[in-house]
Structure 1
C-alpha cells in the first residue's frame, strides 16, 4: 500500500486575541498574515466581536477557564515558536494570559489593543493597569500605536522626536523592545514622517531602528495593527532577529495597506493576500 510521506511542519505561531466577524482584523487577520509569511497559525479566542466595516456592534469575553484550556491544548501538544496577543478585553483575561505567557520561553509580541480602527473601545478601562504591570513585562516586543501609547503612558506624540519619548515610556513597563507605530495620527495633523512617508521606531532603549515606508492614500486600513504584530511574530518564529522581523513586517503591512479594498459601507481591510495577487 502506497503511503504519503509526512512533511515537516512550518514554524508555529499562536495568536491570543479576539475574533473579528468581518474578517479584517483580530484572529482572522492574524491567521491570514501567518499563512502569508510561511508559518502555521493557531489561535486562542479570548473574545468574540460583532463587527463589520462601520464599527463594533458588541463584544463578549470568553471565560478565563476557556482561554487557559485553549492555550494549554495548543502549547502542551503542538508547541509554538512565537506567540502574539491582541484584544484581551478585561483585567481578568489580561492577567490570565500574562500568567500563561510568563511560562513560555519563545518570543512574545504584545499588541496592546485598546480601541478599534473605528474608535470603539476594546479594553475595559480597569484593565489598563494589568496591561502595564502584568502583560507588557512578558513581551519580547510591544507594538502600540500612538493612541495606545497615550492610553498606557500619558505620552502624546506630535513629531518624530516624540517617538523616542513614547518608546522610553513603554519600555519602562518591561518589554525588551518597543515598536512605536508612527503612522496612526499623521492624517490628523501630527508631524510624523514627511508627508508621503510613514515612520515607526523600533528600540530596546539602546539601539534604534527607524522603519520608513511610503504612505499610501488608501482609507481601507482595517486590521493594520493586528497584521503588523502577527507579521512580526511570524518573522520571530522563523528565527529572524527582532530588527529583521520588524523590517519584514513593515514591508508586508505596507504592501497590504496599498492593496486594501472596499468592503461594506465603511472602512475595508488591508489585503493580507496582496503578494498572491501580484499587487
Structure 2
C-alpha cells in the first residue's frame, strides 16, 4: 500500500561536511527507521574547522519543494532547523499552514551552545512571533531559552520559569536543554514541560568531547521520528535524550577539529 511506511520531513540547510543540519537529521531518521524527506532552505560550505560560505535558496524553489512533497508523500511529522532570515521563516510558516505535515518539532537555531547569536534580531522576532506558536515540541538550548524567555537562567527554578514563558508563547511542549560546555560539570540536565502541565528533568553524565556537532539537530530529529512512529510526546523526548547521549558517548573520528556524533551507536 502506498505511503504505509512512516515518513518524516526536515526543513533545514544542507551542511557539506555532513555533521549537522539536514544531514544530521537524515542520519537520525535513518537510524530511527523512518523515511526522511527534506525541504532544503540553504546550503553551507564548511568542514570540521568551520563554515566558510553559505547561500539561501530562492523562496519559489522552496515553495515547489513543499508542494511536491505534499502532492506525493504522507508526512506524519516534521521539524525545522536553522532558518536564515525573516523572509525564509515566513515562507516556511506559510507553507506549513498550507499543507498537512503533522506535528512540528521546532529546533530554534538562534544561538550556539557556547552563546554566540546566529540570527539577526529581526529574524529572531519573526521566529518568536510566527514559528514558535506552531511548535508541537520546541527544543531550545540553554542560551536560546534565555533569549526566548528574555531572562537569565542561573538556577533550576529559572530554567523551569523560562520553559513556562516559552510555553506561553504557544509552543505546546518545551524541552530546555541544559548547559553542556563546561568540562568541570558532572552531568547534563534538561528540563521538560509538557502540554498537560507535567514536568520532569532528564539527566545524563557529561561527556567531555569535541565530537558534538549536530546534537541539537539530532535530538529534535529523533523526537520527530518517534512521533511519526506513534510514540507519545513524553516517550519521544525520553528516547531522543538517550539516543543523543549514546551518540556522544561513543565517538567516531571524522575530521580534524569539531566532529559529528555517532548516529549508529544507539541500537534500541
TM-score (norm 2): 0.92
Match of 1:123 in 2: 119
- Tell me if 1:216 matches 2:207: yes
Residue 89 (structure 1) aligned to one of 79, 84, 89: 84
Comparing 45-54 and 8-17, the one that deviates more:
8-17
Match of 2:263 among 244, 252, 272: 272
Aligned length: 266
Query: Is the contact between residue 50 and residue 58 of structure 1 (CA under 8 Å) also seen in structure 2?
Result: yes
Q: Does structure 1 conserve the Cα–Cα contact (< 8 Å) formed by 2:153 and 2:159?
A: yes
Contact 2:113–2:142, Cα closer than 8 Å, also in 1 = no
Q: Distance in 1 between matches of 2:5 and 2:152?
A: 40
Q: Find the partner of 1:180 among 176, 179, 186.
A: 176
Q: 1:253 aligns with which of 228, 244, 249?
A: 244
Unaligned segments of structure 1, at least 5 residues: 1-5, 190-194
Structure 1 residue aligned with 2:220, among 219, 223, 229? 229
1:231: how far off?
Answer: 0.3
| Structure 2: distance between partners of 1:256 and 1:32 | 12
Q: CA deviation at 1:208?
A: 0.3
The answer to whether the 8 Å contact 1:221/1:267 transfers is yes
- What is the match of residue 186 of structure 2? 196
Deviation at residue 175 of structure 1 after TM alignment: 0.7
Indicate conservation of the 8 Å contact 2:75/2:101, yes or no.
no
Q: Judging changes above 3 Å, is the alpha-carbon distance between structure 1 residues 118 and 147 closer, same or farther for their aligned structure 2 residues?
A: closer
**Structure 1 residues 47 and 101, CA gap change in structure 2 (3 angstroms):** same
Match in the other structure for 1:164: 160
The SS at the match of 2:75 is coil
Deviates more, 1:48-57 or 1:83-92: 48-57
Which whole-Å CA distance do the structure 2 matches of 1:18 and 1:121 have between them? 17
1:172 deviation in Å? 2.1
